[in-house]
Amino acid sequence: MQRLGRSWQRAGARVGLVPTMGCLHDAHLSLVRRARRAVGPRGRVVVSIYVNPTQFAPGEDFARYPRDLARDCGLCRAAGVDVIFAPSDRQMYARGADGDFSTFVSEESLARGMEGAARPTHFRGVTTVVAKLFHLVQPEVAIFGAKDYQQAAIIKRMVRDLNFPVKIIVAPIRRERDGLAMSSRNRYLTGDLRRQAVVLWQALQRARAAVRPPGKTIPAARLKAALRRFIARTPAARLDYMEFFDPATLTPVAKVRRGVHLALAVFVGGTRLIDNTRL
């Protein structure tokens, strides 16, 4: 992959990368279209498909995360992807003669709250694998989804702090008709759980409505309590965290007003779902 990426660069081709964990859905394909738009018809679009073990903690769903490379390849081909990069764990995390893989990249400020607090080793795995993908593919632009808002902010910070010559584009969240954010993990939602999963979207809508009047502010603690009660009315839902924060710095705010960002993680049955929106 690195040899190919370098040859494209030498030839002056523009290269766009869409990192994914596979089991592709329409949101992934919207990132592919965004990449194509960024690099043009003569550019190269690479989709990486890799379920990265270092971003999963023991007890999370690494082993059962849905994988369907054959189907993904068909979708990528139809979407005009030039190269699918689907490395193995051994290729990505070599066990060389001098021991195991032992170098990690970690962002140490934006990664502290929210997903980072709930999943303490998660972002270190993400920044490490994305740094590796950037070195391997050597893209000029990489596309990430706003569904993982904190992740996108951390990647932007890593790129700035470590001088990666990569432009980061953040594409909007794609949703199902009822508002549920698209996710490979939605496959876990069987039977009535799929219907109950709409509670994340409904909670975001409630928060939006609460600060819709221009100039209106509400104490974050009060709005959190109301949303917590609302989520508790869905029997299969269990709130993991909810945070109102400044969209630029990711720092929590005490007063919620229009323009503030809301992110939440909710277990629906055994499935952990995340979502976020600008209010």
Residues with a known catalytic role = 28
Residue 203 structure tokens: 């909670």
The DSSP call for residue 118 is H
Determine the size of the site formed for ligand AMP (CB under 6 A): 17
Closer by beta carbon to ligand AMP, 118 or else 146: 146
The DSSP call for residue 211 is T
* Least spacing, CB of residue 28 vs ligand AMP, in Å: 5
* Least spacing, CB of residue 212 vs ligand AMP, in Å: 24
Of the candidates 84, 79, 90, the residue with the CA atom closest to the CA atom of residue 32: 79
Residues 6+ apart with CB under 8 A from 55: 121, 122, 123, 124, 125, 126, 129
* Least spacing, CB of residue 257 vs ligand AMP, in Å: 25
6-14, 36-44, 178-186, 197-205 -> range binding ligand AMP (CB under 6 A) = 178-186
Closer by beta carbon to ligand AMP, 153 or else 237: 153
Residue 230 neighbours by CB distance under 10 Å: 16
110-118, 171-179, 192-200, 232-240 -> range binding ligand AMP (CB under 6 A) = 171-179
Strands (E), 86-179: 141-145, 167-171
The whole-angstrom separation of Cα 1 and Cα 61 is 28
Any contact of residue 166 with ligand AMP (CB under 6 A)? Answer: no
What is the distance in angstroms between the CA of the first residue and the CA of the last residue of the chain?
41
Phi, psi of 141 (to 5 degrees): -140, 145
Any contact of residue 54 with ligand AMP (CB under 6 A)? Answer: no
* Least spacing, CB of residue 45 vs ligand AMP, in Å: 14
Residues 216-235 close enough to bind ligand AMP by CB under 6 A: none
Closer by beta carbon to ligand AMP, 138 or else 184: 184
User: 128, 150, 183, 234: which one contacts ligand AMP (CB under 6 A)?
Assistant: 183
Residues 100-159 close enough to bind ligand AMP by CB under 6 A: 144-148
Residues 22-51 close enough to bind ligand AMP by CB under 6 A: 27-28, 31
- How does 156-186 read in b/e, with b if 16+ C-beta sit within 10 Å? bbbbeeeebebebbbbebbebeeebbbbbbb
What residue ranges bind ligand AMP (CB under 6 A)? 20-21, 27-28, 31, 144-148, 171, 173-174, 181-184
